[in-house]
């Protein structure tokens, strides 16, 4: 396994709900709703976690962090990401780059993109230039477009040493 590169894909969606903080890419974003779920429901970080696990063929985030595990209630998704980075390092993988898309009708995410890139890059242990995040709306279509949910897609490229 000499200097192979391995690619992985991740996807996640969470419902928007009242009385929840909105956390995306480890950054708390001012908004009147947040994402519903077991952890902090950081849909972007979850998609990145699944892309990394996928690239290493290590299953998915639900296998590593089951939603039946009460110790994970409200846990920061950055802690999950950090754990996964450790699993990759143990197996000799390093991150080449990440690209991600967050799909949200509201709030406007562009002012927060660089902060999210910085947070994820810090946990991944890579230069911020290696972490790309893009924001899209769903043009009013579907549940995301009707502001009932936020979705994210991510792709990760790893080097295997």
**DSSP-assigned letters across all residues of 51-78:** HHHHHTT---HHHHS-TT-GGGTT--HH
Task: List the beta strands (DSSP E) in 1-160.
Answer: 4-17, 23-24, 27-28, 34-35, 93-103, 131-136, 149-160
Ranges within 113-132 binding Mg ion (CB under 5 A)? none
CB of 18 to Mg ion, least distance (A): 19
**42 counts as binding Mg ion under rule CB under 5 A:** no
85 CB contacts (<8 Å, ≥6 apart)? Answer: 52, 95, 123, 124, 125
CB of 73 to Mg ion, least distance (A): 14
**153 counts as binding Mg ion under rule CB under 5 A:** no
Rounded (10°) CA dihedral 113, 39, 78, 44: -30
Residue count at the site for Mg ion (CB under 5 A)? 2
Of 8, 10, 12, 105, the one binding Mg ion by CB under 5 A: 12
CB of 62 to Mg ion, least distance (A): 8
Q: Which is nearer to Mg ion, 46 or 112 (CB)?
A: 46
CB of 59 to Mg ion, least distance (A): 14
**46 counts as binding Mg ion under rule CB under 5 A:** yes
Q: Which is nearer to Mg ion, 3 or 63 (CB)?
A: 63
Positions touching Mg ion (CB under 5 A) are: 12, 46
């Amino acid at each position: 396994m000499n200097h192979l590169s391995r690619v992985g894909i991740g996807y996640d969606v969470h419902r928007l709900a009242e009385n929840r903080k909105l956390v995306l890419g480890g950054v708390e974003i001012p908004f009147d709703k947040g994402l519903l779920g077991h952890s902090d429901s950081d849909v972007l970080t979850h998609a990145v976690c699944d892309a990394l696990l996928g690239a290493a063929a290590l299953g998915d985030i639900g296998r590593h962090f089951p939603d039946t595990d009460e110790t994970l209630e409200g846990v920061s998704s950055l802690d999950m990401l950090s754990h996964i980075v450790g699993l990759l390092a143990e197996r000799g993988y390093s991150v080449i780059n990440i690209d991600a898309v967050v799909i949200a009708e509201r709030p406007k995410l562009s002012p927060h993109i660089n902060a999210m890139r910085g947070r994820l890059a810090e946990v991944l242990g890579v230069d911020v230039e290696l972490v790309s995040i893009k924001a899209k709306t769903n043009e009013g279509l579907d549940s995301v477009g009707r502001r009932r949910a936020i979705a994210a897609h991510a792709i990760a490229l790893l080097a295997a040493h």
